[in-house]
Structure 1
Amino acid sequence: MHPLTQPVEADSVDVTALRNFAALRGQLRVSLTPRCNIACWFCHNEGDVPPPLTKVDRSRQPRPRALDADGYLTLIRSLMHEGLKRVYFTGGEPLTSPMARPILAGLPPHDPDASYTLITNGTRIRAHQAWLARTRLDKVKVSLHYFSDESLKAIAGTRVGIDAVLDGIEAAREVFERVELNTLLQRENAHEVERILDFALERRLPVQFIELVGTDFNESRATSAVSAEAILTYLRTLTADERIEVAGVGQGRRVFNIDGVEIDVIHRNLGRHHVGQCGACLLRPQCVEGFWALRVDHNGGVQPCLLREDLRLSVTELLSDPEQLAAAVASHIASFTEGTL
């Protein structure tokens, strides 16, 4: 048995660190699959091997699957029971996974202050619209990093057309009250950012513009990253309603309100939430995010840091005992925040 999966006495575990993280609006990011039907160059794949790398080098493959739908649901229930409230379903593209339907259709009820969000590239929503409408998902967030076939091909290396993405957004709007967009700022879409904003405002969709977070996976094209200054300048011509939010975990953001539609810009220099383990971390100079998400992957790993795979906890052997599973994760996060992991 791996030392990190040794049983922990559930009644002796201090869950304070985990519950503090939840209280600071920390996310539980659940990757349903590392596979995707497109291959965006900047993808970090929640710490697994990204599709663009597998596309050019077939020897570089993601981890094998170790979780079935019941395993995923056990993890989600256990961690929500310990206080995590913001659950995001990611990939790869989550709707390419055969696990998507049984997991999303089987989500347990949650408290009014909790939420389930699907993050998707939008291309598969129309095909899955009927059953998605019957799930407990509270929100769909569509990645719209492009606004033409040309920029979609340049960014995602795909022949899928932009119409499939835009139709997916409409399909989501037809069945979900809350649909949002997110756009990574880069040289390849700089000429389309204002059009993406106009598209969002016309449909009254909140949109988030994000500066690139560098990782080992995207360093070869790091020069594609652009500053948020251009979109900030443009937003200030549209509204004077601007505020800065640095509360909670993760990067700070500038929030604009345009006729009741919230537009936010994730800024690298507005704040982060580093904890004990970060103090002596050799990767900290590269880290602009800090500890803001607890990531679950399809191999049964739980990881508090995208850049540090050595801090990953395997919980596959604990799935038969949800109480022990939650205790092990709580103990792991406590050690991480105290700097003793």
Structure 2
Amino acid sequence: MLDDAPVALRDSFRRFNDGGGKFRLAVINACNLDCAFCHNEAMANPRRGGVRRDVLGVDDLVAIASAWARLGGAQINLTGGEPLALPELVPLIEAIDKRATRIALNSNVLLAERLLRRPRVAAIDVILASLHTLDDATWRDQLGGRRARDATDAIVALARHGYRVDLNYSLGPANRDHFDDVLDFALAHDLHLKAIALVRSSTAPGFYGGDWVDPAWLAARLDARGAACEGSRDSFGGRRTTYRIGRCKIEVKNIAAGRLHTDFCRGCLHQAQCGEGIYGLRTGVDGLLKPCLLRRDRHRPIEPRGDLERQLLDAVHAMVGDWSSARFVGGAPG
């Protein structure tokens, strides 16, 4: 339990939680799409020639998620790969001792039938559905899918089935001109929408497929659509600005307006390329705790039979560090 931990670890965990830091648990390293910009939670990507090494099983993942919930973690993002491709996904979710923790399912929703053919899974608090474009050519060329309607139909069906579905739109050179289409879909179905810039997960030249696109220009588009700005705040993962059009909330996350650097970032060789800052603690089937996508030298094995709560607390504390030296850094990443 968090109250039993040393004060410094408790403080770091609470700051991480309150500041919007995320815990992302990759339950599978396989996907039915091949998005050009996929960071795959820093796992070796088998769709790009990487060797898939699954170290942890379902019981291990349940234990890790339950440990995060016991600590009072605000949210667990179940990711992949594509989590709906995991046959045991629903039993895994229902086995988590979630307490007051929200469970968010990050999904491309193309396998939605696996949820639709059964009663709504009460433990899933929100489905974060990826919807980066409604253009079929971009869908095929950039995402490796068949057509955008496969996703939009699934999103509507999941919402009708009783799930809360929010949309995730990742902004890059290939879909910059498609934001209004995605927004129109969100408005038509009263869905919340989050827009973020592409997050670099490797130092490879040309990762973005062109110049990095600053989400700042979305403010003008939203203003033109009559959106009311409800405010901004600096947070883990970048500055978040919230807008509202009718019942639809739109959140724009912009790391160029401020991404968090802490003690963890000191001496990092990738600061100029950093597209996320301190944001999410990742782990999953590859058995590694990953406080950063780019700093692979700081990835460490997680021991599922050890003290999971202490391992998670230590990892978060390393990310947060001495808060008096933390700062928000602006500017576009390279």
Provide TM-score, normalisation by structure 1.
0.85
1:303 to 269, 277, 290: 290
Give the residue type in structure 2 aligned to 1:33. I
Q: Deviations over 1:99-156 (max 9, x none)?
A: 4222123222422xx3110010010112332347124010001101121321110111
Task: Measure how far apart 1:217 and its partner are.
Answer: 6.6
Alpha-carbon separation, structure 2, partners of 1:219 and 1:115: 37
Where 1:83 maps in the other structure, the secondary structure is coil
Q: Which residue of 1 aligns with 2:23?
A: 28
Q: Which residue of 2 aligns with 1:48?
A: 43
Structure 1 moving runs of 4+ over 3 Å: 10-14, 335-339
Q: Which residue of 1 aligns with 2:276?
A: 289
2:51 to 61, 68, 73: 61
2:190 to 182, 189, 204: 204
Task: Measure how far apart 1:270 and its partner are.
Answer: 2.3
Structure 1 residues 280 and 36 mapped into 2: Cα distance closer, same or farther (>3 Å)? same
Pairing 1:62-211 to 2, within 5 Å after superposition: 62=52, 64-111=53-100, 114-131=101-118, 133-158=120-145, 160-211=146-197
Where 1:67 maps in the other structure, the secondary structure is coil
Structure 1 vs Structure 2 CA RMSD: 2.3
Where 2:286 maps in the other structure, the secondary structure is coil
Q: Which residue of 1 aligns with 2:305?
A: 320
Structure 1 residues 164 and 132 mapped into 2: Cα distance closer, same or farther (>3 Å)? farther
Alpha-carbon separation, structure 2, partners of 1:231 and 1:12: 43
Where 1:187 maps in the other structure, the secondary structure is coil
1:220 to 206, 214, 238: 206
Q: Deviations over 1:276-330 (max 9, x none)?
A: 12122121222142211111120221111111122122123xx234xx2211332
**Could you list the runs of 5+ residues in structure 1 that have no partner in the other structure?**
1-9, 55-59
Higher helix share: 1
Task: Measure how far apart 1:272 and its partner are.
Answer: 2.2
Q: Which residue of 2 aligns with 1:7?
A: none
Where 2:174 maps in the other structure, the secondary structure is helix
1:330 to 310, 313, 322: 313
Structure 1 residues 86 and 233 mapped into 2: Cα distance closer, same or farther (>3 Å)? same
Where 2:139 maps in the other structure, the secondary structure is helix
Pairing 1:250-289 to 2, within 5 Å after superposition: 250-289=237-276
User: Is the 8 Å Cα contact of residues 185 and 226 (structure 1) preserved in structure 2?
Assistant: yes
Task: Measure how far apart 1:196 and its partner are.
Answer: 1.3
Alpha-carbon separation, structure 1, partners of 2:195 and 2:6: 43
Alpha-carbon separation, structure 1, partners of 2:211 and 2:30: 24
Q: Which residue of 2 aligns with 1:3?
A: none
Structure 1 residues 11 and 248 mapped into 2: Cα distance closer, same or farther (>3 Å)? closer
User: Is the 8 Å Cα contact of residues 89 and 119 (structure 1) preserved in structure 2?
Assistant: yes
Structure 1 residues 332 and 166 mapped into 2: Cα distance closer, same or farther (>3 Å)? closer
User: Is the 8 Å Cα contact of residues 276 and 336 (structure 1) preserved in structure 2?
Assistant: yes
Provide TM-score, normalisation by structure 2.
0.86
Alpha-carbon separation, structure 2, partners of 1:226 and 1:336: 27
Q: In terms of mean alpha carbon deviation, does 41-50 or 124-133 score higher?
A: 124-133
**Could you list the runs of 5+ residues in structure 2 that have no partner in the other structure?**
323-334
Q: Is 2:9 aligned against 1:15? A: yes
User: Is the 8 Å Cα contact of residues 116 and 139 (structure 1) preserved in structure 2?
Assistant: yes
Structure 1 residues 204 and 11 mapped into 2: Cα distance closer, same or farther (>3 Å)? closer
